[in-house]
Copies of this chain bind each other. A is one copy, B any other.
Amino acid sequence: MIGQSGIAVKSVQRADAASVAELSKYGVATIHEAMGRVGLLAPYMRPIYPGAKVCGTAVTIFAHPGDNWMLHVAAEMLQAGDVAVLGTSSDNADGMFGDLLATSFRARGAMGLVIDAGCRDTADLRSMQFPVWAKAVYGKGTVKATVGSVNTPIICAGALVHPGDVIIADDDGVVVVPQARAAAVAEAASRREAKEAATRERLGKGELGLDIYGMRDTLAKAGLLYFDDEAAYQDRTASQVVTASQRGPHK
């Protein structure tokens, strides 16, 4: 059950270290493509400083608005290589996490935090180089009054995260790789990177994607019309132009 309060699971299975190490070589965009273009958190999740990057295993936290109690409970479950991931029971931007908790998390081995709420003490966190991806930067403090959960499945910024899943985060945002798929995704990412390297070289020489990917035919079939210049285009009246998108059923 998603979002249940009152549960703290001490020990969870984590994605295997080899897969995590392999995934850490790739960026968020590449990994998300390797998974079939899924697994991203919402685009409002931003790093608190540019260049932040992390790859680790999820310890999940379910918290209530204006209440950061469960971050303290989670600290005890964190191990080396973990990334804490926090979802809330409703929308909230309060600064649930700051430099004291970061000190504690780092001492326990945590590599970073992904929080669907606010973060504060961001100048200190930048000095510490403790990376956080958050919905907001906000000085607002919180209470410790209502229990949530630790290490149950959560939804964070629109993505489902299970304890032990792999979390990769960089300047482009955050992606979650289900534990069971970690090895396969790492391999797919590797293949994708290799392929992209070759393409990058060709593109860098001025070759066109249209030719590299063989798109000219499909574009023509999809109805794209080329005109030499604006005058040629104006010569056709708008009413005569039947575009690709106007063909076929629309409803």
> Which residues of A line the B interface, CB within 8 A?
1-13, 27-29, 32-33, 36-40, 42-43, 46, 49-51, 53, 64-67, 69, 72-73, 75-76, 89-95, 98-101, 103-104, 106-108, 118, 120-124, 126, 136-147, 151-153, 155, 158-160, 163, 170-173, 175, 178, 180-181, 184, 196, 199-200, 203-206, 208-210, 212-213, 215, 218-219, 222-230, 232-233, 238-239, 241-246, 248-251
- Judging by beta carbons under 8 Å apart, are B163 and A230 in contact? yes
Residues of B within 8 A of A210 (CB): 72-73, 75-76
Q: Which of B3, B142, B158 contacts A250 (CB 8 A)?
A: B142
Residues of B within 8 A of A232 (CB): 9
Residue of B nearest to A38 (CB): B3
Residue of B nearest to A180 (CB): B238
Residues of B within 8 A of A250 (CB): 33, 37, 141-144
Least CB distance, A106 to chain B, in whole angstroms: 8
Residue of B nearest to A123 (CB): B171
- Judging by beta carbons under 8 Å apart, are B141 and A32 in contact? yes
Q: How far is the CA of A200 from the CA of B205 in the complex (A)?
A: 47
- Judging by beta carbons under 8 Å apart, are A65 and B94 in contact? yes
Taking A33-B250, A230-B12 as contacts, is the C-beta distance between A171 and B73 under 8 angstroms? no
- Judging by beta carbons under 8 Å apart, are A73 and B224 in contact? yes
Residues of B within 8 A of A4 (CB): 36, 38, 238, 241, 243
Residues of B within 8 A of A144 (CB): 215, 218, 248-250
Given contacts A43-B137, A104-B208, A144-B249, 18 further A-B contacts (CB under 8 A): A4-B36, A6-B245, A8-B226, A10-B227, A27-B124, A29-B120, A36-B246, A37-B245, A37-B246, A91-B92, A100-B196, A122-B172, A142-B250, A143-B250, A145-B222, A147-B222, A147-B224, A184-B239
Residues of B within 8 A of A205 (CB): 107
Residues of B within 8 A of A246 (CB): 5, 36-37
4 nearest A-B pairs in the assembled complex, by CB-CB distance: A6-B243, A3-B38, A145-B145, A43-B138
What are 6 A-to-B residue pairs whose CB atoms are below 8 Å? A4-B243, A9-B227, A66-B89, A90-B138, A106-B204, A163-B230
